[in-house]
Structure 1
Amino acid sequence: MTGRHVAVVGAGRMGQGIAAALAFGNVAVTVVDLRDRGAGAAAYLDGVRASVRQALAHKVTLGLLAVEDLEDVAALVTVVGEVDALAPMAGADLVFEAVPEVAEVKRDTLTWIEAMVGDTVPIASTTSSFLVDELAGSLAAPARFLNAHWLNPADLMPLVEVAPGTATSPGAVEATRDLLVAVGKVPVVCAPSPGYIVPRLQALVMNEAARMVAEGVASAADIDTAVRIGFGSRFAVLGLLEFIDWGGCDTLFHASNYLRRELGERFAPAALVETNITSGRRGISDGAGFYEFDPTTVADYRAQRIADFARVLDAVGRLARHEEFSKAD
C-alpha cells in the first residue's frame, strides 16, 4: 500500500508491533512517543527502532520477508518524540492511538492527536479496556473516531477487531478496514461492547481453566495440552458458532444444562441456543442454524473442513500417520 503514511502514537509494545505490521505491508509509518523521558529520550527511541527492526528480522527468519528487502522495509518506520512530531502528524492519513490503558492518558492523547492532524483524518484507538463512546468525548469531531483492537503480537496476528462508536462515520470505518486489509490483516467489525469479541471469549475460558486447576480437575500442563491440541486446533478451523451448527445446538443445549446442574449457572445455555432448537435451526441436520447449509453441498463442506483440520494438526506435528505404528506380530 504505497503512498500512504500512518502515525502510531504510543511507542510501547503495541505501538511497535503495529509499526512493524504496517511497514511489512509497505506503508510508511511514524511512531510518536509522547512521554517526557528526559536525558534518556534518545536512547529510548533508539530502542524502539531496534525492537521494530528485530520484529521485521524475525519475518526473515520465518521466510516471510526476503533478507535483501529487510533494510528497505525497516526504513519505512520513523520514530520520533513529541518535539519532532509536527510534520509527520500533519502528513498522516490515519492515526492509531496506542498509549497505556489509562483513561486520562488516552483522553489527553486523543485530544493532542486531533489538534495535530487534518480535519478528516480517521483516529483509531487500540484499547482493549474502554469503549469507543467512553473516549469519544475527548474529540471535537467524534465522527472520525473508532476503535481498532489489535491482538498481540500485533505484527503477526492477522485479526483486528474494529468497533465504531455511536457517532463514527461509515467513511472512518471503511478507511480503517481498507488499510488493515491492504497490510494483510483480517478486520472484523463489532459493536462497542465490553471485551469486544476475543477478550470477552478468552476471559471466560481462561478463568474456567484457572478454576479447573484450583479444583484439581487436571494439572496446568495437561489443561494447556488439551487446549492446544483439542480446543484450539478445532476452533482454528471451525468458529464457535459454526461448531455449534456442526454438532447441533441441541447437543450444546443438553450438555450445558448438565454442566449447569453440576457446576453452576455460568454454564446455562444461551437463550438463542434454545430459540434455534425450537425454531428448527439446530444446524447442519436442519439445513440452518447460525449459518445456512445447502443439502447438495454439505458433504463437500464437511470434507473440506476435515481436510482443513488435518492440515492444522499436521502443521503442529500432531497428525498421526499409519506407518508410524508397529504392525502386530
Structure 2
Amino acid sequence: MTRPLIACLGAGRMGRGIAVAFAYAGHSVLLLDVKERDADGFRALSDAALGEVRGILASLASLGLFDPSAVDTLAARVEVVPAAERGTALAGAGIVFEGVPEILALKREVLADASRLARPDAVIASTTSTIMVDDMAVAVARPERFLNAHWLNPAYLVPLVEVSPGSATDAAVTERLKTVLEGIGKVPVVCRSSPGFIVPRIQALAMNEAARMVEEGVASAEEIDKAIRVGFGFRFAVLGLLEFIDWGGGDILYHASRYLEGALGSERYRAPEVIHRNMEEGRIGLRTGEGFLDYAGLDLDAYRRERLAAFVGLLKHLGLSRAPELRPQPTIAASAKQHV
C-alpha cells in the first residue's frame, strides 16, 4: 500500500508527536507553520520542532526500541514548512491533521484555509480533545472528508486513537483513516462525537475521585497511586471495564453501587439505568452467557485461561511474580502441639 504524505497543521507538541509516529512507520511528514513569521522566527520554530523530534527518537532508541543508527534516517522524514508555502505542501498531502490550540475560532480559521488548499480527496482530521466535530465542520470545504482523531499523549507511544466522525463524515473516510492508523501500529476506536470521547471522560472521573480521596484523608497520594498502579491499572491493562463487569457479574456492581451511594451520600456512585435493566433481564455476564458482551458459543475455560495468562505475563513484566514456597510445612497437629 502506498504511504500517503502526512501534513500536520501546526508544529507544536501534538504535531511533533504525530510526526514521530508516522516517520517511525516510514511516512514523510510535513509540519506546517500556521502563523506568518519572519525568517528568524521561522528558523527558531523549525529548529525547536526538529530538535524535539530528533530528541524523542534518540530517547526511544536509547530505551532499546530500535538501533540508534536509525535516528538520522527517521528524523530526516520530518520537515517544517513555512506558512507561505502551505499551499504547495497541502496539495500533495493525503492525510491532514489539525493540531492548533483548543480555540474554536482558531481551529475554524485554520481548517477553512487548509481545506481550500488541500486536494479534494485528502482526509482532514482535527486532533481536538474538547471540541465537537460538527462545531468545526462548518468551516471545512467538503465536510464529508472531515472527522476527529483524538491522540492520547504521548502520541508517539500510546497506541489508542479515538476516531470520531461528524454528522457529515463519509463512512469510507472513517475507514480510510482507521486503515492508515492501523498501518502505523495504532489502535483506532470509533465513537460518536460526544464531550470527552471515551478515555478522557472516564479518566476525568477517576482522577477527580483520586484527588477527592486525598482531600478526605482516605489515604496519601503515594498510597493511592500505588493502589492504582498495581491494582486498578494492572487489572484494566488486561480486562476492559465492561468486560470486567461481566467477569465479576453485573449484580456485584449493582449492589456495590447502591451501598457506595448510601454510605458516601453521593449520587455520583449511582448505577446507570443499563445496569438495572441488565439485572432485570438476566444479562449479568459470564454466569448467564451474556452481559455487555455476548459469550454465546465461547469456550469460557479457554477464555479465562487466556486472560489469566495475560495477568501472569504482566506480573512478570512488573517484577511482582514470585516462585512458590516449597519448603515442607508442619502438619496441623504438629503445629498445634508446638503452641500448647
The two structures have a TM-score, normalised by structure 2, of 0.92
Q: Does structure 2 retain, via aligned residues, the 8 Å contact 1:2–1:27?
A: no
Q: Does structure 1 retain, via aligned residues, the 8 Å contact 2:116–2:141?
A: no
Between 284-293 and 161-170, report the one with greater CA deviation.
284-293
Q: Does structure 1 retain, via aligned residues, the 8 Å contact 2:36–2:84?
A: no
Q: Does structure 2 retain, via aligned residues, the 8 Å contact 1:107–1:135?
A: yes
Q: Does structure 2 retain, via aligned residues, the 8 Å contact 1:132–1:146?
A: yes
- Which consecutive unaligned segments of at least 5 residues does structure 2 have? 331-340
Which residue of structure 2 lines up, in the alignment, with residue 16 of structure 1?
16
Encode CA deviations 1:37-87: one digit per residue, 9 max, x unaligned: 543320221110011112122221232222332222211111122123222
Encode CA deviations 1:135-185: one digit per residue, 9 max, x unaligned: 111113111110000000000000000000000001211121111000000
| Per-residue deviation, 1:317 | 2.0
| Per-residue deviation, 1:326 | 8.8
User: What CA distance in whole angstroms lies between the structure 2 residues aligned with 1:91 and 1:144?
Assistant: 16
Change (3 A) 1:311 1:139: same
Which residue of structure 2 lines up, in the alignment, with residue 223 of structure 1?
224
Q: Does structure 2 retain, via aligned residues, the 8 Å contact 1:4–1:27?
A: yes
Match of 2:276 among 259, 274, 288: 274
Alignment of 1:305-320 (within 5 A): 305-320=307-322
Encode CA deviations 1:247-273: one digit per residue, 9 max, x unaligned: 000000000000111221010011111
User: What CA distance in whole angstroms lies between the structure 2 residues aligned with 1:226 and 1:166?
Assistant: 41
User: Alpha carbon RMSD of aligned pairs, Å?
Assistant: 1.7
User: What CA distance in whole angstroms lies between the structure 2 residues aligned with 1:281 and 1:233?
Assistant: 26
Q: Which has the larger Rg?
A: 2
Alignment of 1:284-295 (within 5 A): 284-294=286-296
Which residue of structure 2 lines up, in the alignment, with residue 298 of structure 1?
300
The two structures have a TM-score, normalised by structure 1, of 0.95
Encode CA deviations 1:273-294: one digit per residue, 9 max, x unaligned: 1111111111000011111224
User: What CA distance in whole angstroms lies between the structure 2 residues aligned with 1:111 and 1:26?
Assistant: 29
Secondary structure at the aligned position of 2:22 is classed as helix
Secondary structure at the aligned position of 1:123 is classed as strand
- Which consecutive unaligned segments of at least 5 residues does structure 1 have? none
User: What CA distance in whole angstroms lies between the structure 2 residues aligned with 1:314 and 1:257?
Assistant: 36
Which residue of structure 2 lines up, in the alignment, with residue 211 of structure 1?
212
Which residue of structure 1 lines up, in the alignment, with residue 57 of structure 2?
56
Secondary structure at the aligned position of 1:11 is classed as coil
**Superposed structure 1 runs of 4+ greater than 6 Å apart:** 325-329
Secondary structure at the aligned position of 1:266 is classed as helix
Which residue of structure 2 lines up, in the alignment, with residue 128 of structure 1?
129
